[in-house]
Every structure is written in C-alpha cells, then in structure tokens.
Structure 1
Amino acid sequence: MKHSNSAFKNGLRAGEPFTIIVMFLILIGFNSSGAAMLARIVGKAPRSGQLPPVAFGLVFLVLLAIWQGISVTSKAKRQNLPHPWLGGLASAGLAGLAVGAFILVFGTLYQNGADFRQTLYALSPNYVQFLEMQMAPASGAALVFAAMLLSGGLFGFAVDKLQPGRAWKVVSEKWDLLFNSNVVRSVRVSRYFKFGLYAVLVLICFFVPRMWGSYWNYVFGLVGIYVLLGLGLNIIVGLSGQLVLGYVAFFAIGAYTVALLNAPFPHNLMWGFWIAVVIGIVLAAISGILIGLPIMRLRGDYLAIVTLGFGEIIRVLLKSDLLTNFTGGPRGIQDIKGPILFGISFSSDVDFMYLILLAVALAIFIAYRLQNSRVGRSWIAIREDETVAQASGVNTTQYKLLALALGAAFAGLGGVLFAARNQFTGPEDHVMMVSINVLCQVIVGGMGSIPGVVLGAFALKGLPEILRDLENYRLLAFGALLVIMMIVRPQGLWPIGRPVLERKDQDKPSASAVEKKEDPHGDLS
C-alpha cells in the first residue's frame, strides 16, 4: 500500500503544474478556441462571434485529462511503482477539482449579478455558461470534475494493464522483419519500383494543387519557398557549420532583382521573369562570396554577429529615403510581372504552385547530390573540426565560400519566387525574423537533414496557418507545440543518420570461415 500511495502522491505533484496550465487556459478563454477547432474538425464550426456547442468544451477538457493521465501513468510505470494508474487518476482529478470549483464559484457569482470583465476580459456571462455546460453551476462543476477524473483514471488504467508499449514494440519488430526481408528489399532496390514511385509522386503533385483551392495553395506555396530557404541555410549551417544570421539579405537580393527588372516602377525595364530568375540567383551567389571573403577567419558568435549586421544593412538601405528612386523606398515595388511560359501565364496561386514545386524538386535533387558527394563530405569535415579538415588536405576557404554561394543562390531563387508570386516586395518582407525563422526551421527539422528541412518548413510555416482557428492564441499554441517537440525530440523531427560503413550481416564471419580458422590444416590430411 505504501508504493500505491507513492504513485498517488507523485500524481498529485505532477497534477499541480498541469492544474495551473489548465486554469490559465480557461482564464484567457482558450477553452472556447480549442473547442471551436474541434467543432470545425467534425464539420460543426460555430459562426463568427459565437461560442461552439458546449459538448466540444467538455471534450477539450477531457482530452487534456487523458493526455495527463497517460503521461503520468507512463512515468510511474518507468519507476516500477505498483498501480501506476493511480497517479494518472490523481493528476487528472486534481485538475478536474480545480476547474469544477472555478465553475461553481464564478457561476454562482454571475447568477447573483457579479461581473468580472473589467479585470478578466474573457469571463463573459456567455463564456461562464459555456463552462457550466449550460447547466446549474453545481451540476456543471460536478460533470466536469467527474469527466476529467474518470477519463484520466481510465486511460491511465488502460496504459497500465494493456501495455500498449509492448504491443507497439512487437508490431515494430514485425514491421522491421517484413521491411528488411529479401523480397521487400529486392522490390525497394528495383529500378521499376523507383520509377513507379516517382510517377505516383508526380501525379500527386499535379492533381493536389487543383483540389486545394487558392488559399491552401497560397499557404503551401509559402511552405515551398521556405523549403528553398531552409535547403540553402542547411548547406551553410547544417553541413559546413557556418552560423549565418543575415541570411535574409540573399532572399532580399533575389526578390528585389526580379522586382527591379520586371516591374513598371521605378525603372520600367520589363526584362522578363526568366531573365530575372537567372540574374537574381547569380547576384545572390556573388553576394554570398563577397560577404564570405572578409569573414573567413571568423567562427561561431563573431560570424553570426557580422552576418546579422549585413542583413540589417541591406534592409536599412532598401528602406532608406535616399534610395527611393532606385528601390521604391519604404513603399516597396508593386505590379511585379509573373512568369509566362509557352503563352501560359502563372498568375494564379494554383498555377504558381507548380513552379514552386518544380523549384523545390530541383533544389532537393541538387542538395542530395552535393551532400553525398566529395563536396558534402568536405563540408561535414569542416563542420566537425575545421583545423583537422585543413590538416587533412581540405581547402577550407574554397569549400566554405562554395557553401555560402550555393546557400545564397537557393535564397535568391526563393526571393524571386516570393516577389513574383505576391507581385509585390518591400523592406518589411526581409526583416531579421525571416532569418531566425529559417534557422529555427533547420534546427527543428534536424541539422544537416534534407527531409528534416521539409518537415521543419511544414511545422514552422504550415502549422501556424492550420492553427488559425485559434485566433489570438495561435502563436501561444504554436510556441507550446515547439517547446514540447524540442523536449521530446531535441535532435529534430528527422535527424540526419550516421553513415553505415558495413552491413550488419557482413560483420559476422560465416560458418565455413570459422571452421577453416579452427582447423587450418584440415585439407592436408
């Protein structure tokens, strides 16, 4: 019984911060926003300015209690405590008790004519009735307490008794055996399988943009542009190990190149999109080399500070009134003409999405080829230890400049596509936060990992749009998800794998080799 009480007490201790978080979410009105998102998922989204059905508010609290019950029970199981589900019951029950008491107190006060909206803006009478499940305060409080207590306890009990971790381990082992079997391995390495996989991927990329509509094509087009930026910065930071914080400058060079060469104002050059693409990429690459030459001896924080200054200098120059006649000044440049290919204009978000997908596919191909080549191995050697790499015969200056040039070229391509798609670019599109976001994208996805860059772009640019239903709490939810992800997977969503020098089945000597080693003169008899 002592150990059971320990599990219960651990659950109470774990429930204290969880209760504070739940109460904070209720006080700021996040409960209704989460319920609205759940209602939208099942097709019952509330109208603008209205609260969702009360059942979704209860479901939202129950989901929080389930998550807490499972996590506390799992931790108690790892500590080998008997009856670990009591911890989940205690933790979820404590939060349910606090929420129930809150509903009872404030529901009763509002019934007596009290109003707390001057100090607690979210606590409107309608919101309090929403928390009460449109019942009497005592009944609503009892319902919420019972629902959170039972859901946390039952799911904790299920985790304790059903042992889903062991079942998942068995399933994963069977999957590994199937995936690494000779038949599946022969299919995976087959040329026809790869061609078929590429064909399916091409068909998906062709039909899906037509199904998305304008809004989602705009969102995922922005994700694609950030994939380009992330691939470029991944070469600079993830592979060659150069911490560059002024990366947005190369993005701005590409955007303003297509704007100056293919817009009626301020110069009316109208050279065409495709010429501007080439010039924008080349200028961005040259700028990468020029900024790299004087900073080759800098490393770490000093390199980051210098490149950060370069990015800010570019932004200030673009915003300066002195250059208004050349760059458009603070107003930016409008009416940038988009691409025209074989008489087809890529003016809509749907059509432009194909161009972005093509650019992303080309950039991923180039990045993969570089990473798996001698150049990529030289970058990794420089990242791990520049002094040792130089002593091994690697021309560190040449390869670091090459990384800066290629990374800047990718950013220039992203800037060209960004400005042409929006038909506008200005100084506020190229602030320091763009560099920070792209760097976070590389870190969240996994340093040096190309699939990680893609996942990082979806996480940092796509997820905030998916969470737009949370309105004012969108960034709060996004930040919380990032913190949880970094705690659970600090190495990134898709970390780069270590190279395997030999296959495992080659490490073990064959039976015939062992026999010959034991009896080297056996054939002489």
Structure 2
Amino acid sequence: MKDILNKALQSGLIVGVILVFFELIDFTCTLGVMLEKLVSGSSKIKSVSPVYLGIMIALIVLLFSWQFTRRYHIARQENGFLKGLLLAIGIGLVSGGMLVLLNWTLSRFLTNKIDLRNYLAAMSPDVIKRSLFEKPFAEAIPIYFLTTSAGALSGVLIGYIGDKTGQPGQFFTLIAKRVRALKISNYFERNSHARVIGTVLIIIFALSLPLILNPYMISVVGLVLIYAILGLGLNLIVGLSGQLVFGYVAFYAVGAYTFALLTAPKPLGIEAGFIPAFLLALVSSGIIGALIGLPIMNLRGDYLAIVTLGFAEIVRILVNSNQLAEYTGGPQGIKNIGSPAQPKIISTLFGDPLPENIWFLYLILFLFVLVLYISFQLQFSRTGR
C-alpha cells in the first residue's frame, strides 16, 4: 500500500502542476469557452461559465488519471480496486489542494488590487474571478476538490475497467476486422450502381451539412476545410514527391494578401470582384512559387527545408513589418475584405439569400472538392506517376 500511496502523491503533484500552469496562462478557461461554444452552438460566448469551467477541470484530471491507471497496471495488481480508489483519492486531493493554494494566492492579490498582468499577461482581475467560479474564495474551495475528485475517480474507473476486461481494445479491434472483412472498397469497384448511389449520398450529405450545423460549428468546419485545402497542396510536394518543404504556407499567404488587397477598400481602393481577384491571387501565388522554386530545384533534404523555411520567415516578417503596414495592415491584417456575392439562382430557389456563413461554407466546400479533384488528377497523371 505504501507504493500506491507514493504513486498517488506523485501523480497528484503532476496533475496539480499541470492544472496550475494551465490556469496561469488562462488555458483552462479557454478550453471551457470552446466546450461551451461547441455544446451551446453560440459563437458569441466570450467568457466561460462556472459550470463549464468545472467540467473542463474534471476532464483534464480524468484524462491524466486514466493514463496513470494504465501506466501503473492497477487492474492487474492484487487488491487492484482498492489501490485504484486510493490512487483516485490521492490525485483528487493533491491536485485540488494545489488549485486551492494557487487561487488563495490569486484572491489575495485581487483583494489588495494588485495587477498581476505586469508579470503574468493572462492574469487579469476578470480571469481571476472566473477561476474562482465567480464566488468568494471560501465558497470556491469545495468546488475545486469536487471537480478534481470527480475527474480522478472517473479516470481511474475508466482505466481500471478497460485494463481489467480489455474490452475497449478488443471492441475496436473487432470492428476493424469486421470492416475489413466486408471488403467495401472492392464491392464499390465491382458495382457501378453502388458507386453512383454512394456518390449521390455523399453529395446530399455535403449539401445538407451547412443547413443543419449551428453557427459555431459552421465556422469550425470552414476553418477545417481551409486547412484541408492547404494540406492537400502540401501533400503534393511533401507526401507524394518526398521533398521536405517548410515554406509552403508562404505561397498561401501571398495569395491571401493578393486577394485582400484587390477586394478591400483600403489601402489600394480597387474593390475588385470575387472572381477576378480570386484568379489573380492564384496567378500571383503561382508566379512566386515559380520564382522561388526554379532556383532551388536541385536542393534536397535539409538544405531544401532550410531554404524554404527561410522564405516563409521572410514573408512573415514582411507582412508584419511597420514599413509595409500601410499595405499589409501589420499584425492586425487587412480589414473589410470583399466577400463573394451569391448567385441569383440561390434567391430564386430559396426565396431569400442564404445567411453569409452558410453561403461561405458552401463556397469553401466547393473549392475543397475542386482542389481534391485536381490533386487526384495530378497524382494519377503521367507526370504524377
């Protein structure tokens, strides 16, 4: 038992240090805001509510408690359940006590009106109040112990059951074997009707997705698709040709700033339409790619990585520099970038124009499919092979 108590103390200290660090950089509250936005579907939430902050603390403790339970093989030891219970109690009490000590210190600074932002940029008075669950310190103490203990007990229980029965691993292994046994890909290759039906179902799902998602999820899916487009392009040079290129994102930036400069009212005042600005952005990225790529075609491995990384850093410094801030907007970027107008057929079909976020997601989805098609065509073309 002495060994498990030592492990419980060590694990609790590790979890407590992580919780303290997360709170000092306001990471726990940030995760809580993300969780609350995801559950509520509202993108207007700016600060975490006490309920979601408590849930996030419990989830963090749960994750690490589960890992410690698996690492120590608690379920395989004699009196494993009792040892698991002691481990959970130790993690919950020690990590909760460290949170109490930290927030007691922060509450003293708050009471004495000492601004900690001179030392810790994230520790504003509002953040400290949120970390105290919007309550006096004395009332927040049991909440800290409750959340850490609940997370520790849940994590240890999940780890104990999984390690004892082996069911989670066997379950996923069994599913993978059954899926492989179905040979779905071979079936679609042999049956043209199945391919058509599958394609139609995918198209219906993709077209209906923006209509059923909440605004926050629409913004998340949009960002995912934008980075997926970036990943498809990166896969051509890194994944398929095997060249280690770190500066690919710089070409992305060139196209983005070209489009922004052509469509925004300031600084150039051109305010071009979406299609010509989009095409010019493609051309500008291609030209810069050719100018950078041609001289370094003979480079390989680390040398190519260093050169392309240097190019990416040059672009980053230039767009953030004060000398070019009149054109690039500096760190704040270019504001009021033009958005694509909706075709009249949409108003004809739906009676009213689509909300801007839904229309924008449809556009990103179309561009993603287009880039995916081009990527596959290049991959299986004579040049790609």
TM-score for both structures, normalised by structure 1? 0.53
Gaps of 5+ in 1: 378-525
Distance change in 2, residues 1:116/1:191 (3 Å): farther
Counterparts of 2:375 and 2:155, CA distance in 1: 47
Please name the residue that 2:236 is paired with: 235
Does structure 1 residue 159 correspond to structure 2 residue 142?
no
Structure 2 distance, partners of 1:40, 1:340, is: 28
Decide which structure has the larger Cα Rg and report it: 1
Q: Is the 8 A contact 1:66 1:151 kept in 2?
A: yes
Q: Please identify, of 366-375 and 199-208, the stretch whose mean Cα deviation from structure 2 is larger.
A: 366-375
Residue 75 (structure 1) aligns with:
71
Say if 2:367 is the partner of 1:359. yes
Q: Is the 8 A contact 2:58 2:150 kept in 1?
A: yes
1:52 matched to 2:50? The reply is: yes
Matches for 1:15-54 after TM superposition, within 5 Å: 15-25=12-22, 51-53=49-51
> 1:385-429, CA deviations, whole angstroms, 9 ceiling, x for partnerless residues?
xxxxxxxxxxxxxxxxxxxxxxxxxxxxxxxxxxxxxxxxxxxxx
Structure 1: which amino acid aligns with 2:205? I
| Alpha-carbon distance in 1 for matches of 2:97, 2:315 | 56
Rate the CA distance shift 1:297–1:21 in 2: closer, same or farther, 3 A. Answer: same
| Counterpart for residue 285 of structure 1 | 286
- Following superposition, the deviation at residue 204 of structure 1 comes to 2.2
Q: What is the identity, as a one-letter code, of the residue corresponding to 1:77?
A: H
Is the partner of 1:298 in helix, strand or coil?
Answer: coil
Q: Which residue of 2 aligns with 1:430?
A: none
* Structure 2 match to 1:297: 298
CA shift for structure 1 position 347: 9.5
Residues 236, 244 of structure 1: 8 Å contact kept: yes
CA RMSD, 1 decimal: 5.0
| Distance change >3 Å, CA 65–CA 212, structure 1 → 2 | closer
Is the contact between residue 35 and residue 52 of structure 1 (CA under 8 Å) also seen in structure 2?
Answer: no
1:92 alignment counterpart = 88
Counterpart position of 1:438: none
Q: Which amino acid in the other structure matches residue 366 of structure 2?
A: L
CA deviations over 1:84-123 (Å, ceiling 9, x no partner): 5556434432232224545777899999999476368665
Residues 51-104 of structure 1, C-alpha deviation per residue, up to 9 Å, x if partnerless? 524xx6655454444433432222233996444555643443223222454577
What is the SS of the residue equivalent to 1:195? helix
Residue type of the alignment partner of 1:371: Q
Aligned pairs, number: 366
**2:340 equivalent in structure 1:** 338
Deviations, residues 228-249 of structure 1 (Å, cap 9, x unaligned): 2221122122222333333344
Q: How does 1:181-220 map to 2 (within 5 A)?
A: 181=182, 185-186=186-187, 189-212=190-213, 216-220=217-221
Counterparts in 2 of 1:434-513, with a 5 A limit?
Answer: none
Report how far residue 363 of structure 1 moved.
1.0
Equivalent residue number for residue 177 of structure 2? 176
Query: What is the CA distance between 1:214 and its match in structure 2?
Result: 5.8
Q: Which amino acid aligns with 2:13?
A: E
For the residue of structure 2 that corresponds to 1:180, the secondary structure is helix
On the 8 A contact 2:211/2:358 being kept in 1, the answer is yes
SS where residue 132 of structure 2 aligns? helix
- Gaps spanning 5+ residues in structure 2: where? 117-122, 347-352
Q: Deviations over 1:132-173 (max 9, x none)?
A: 7948x6x668756764664455444433443334xx415633
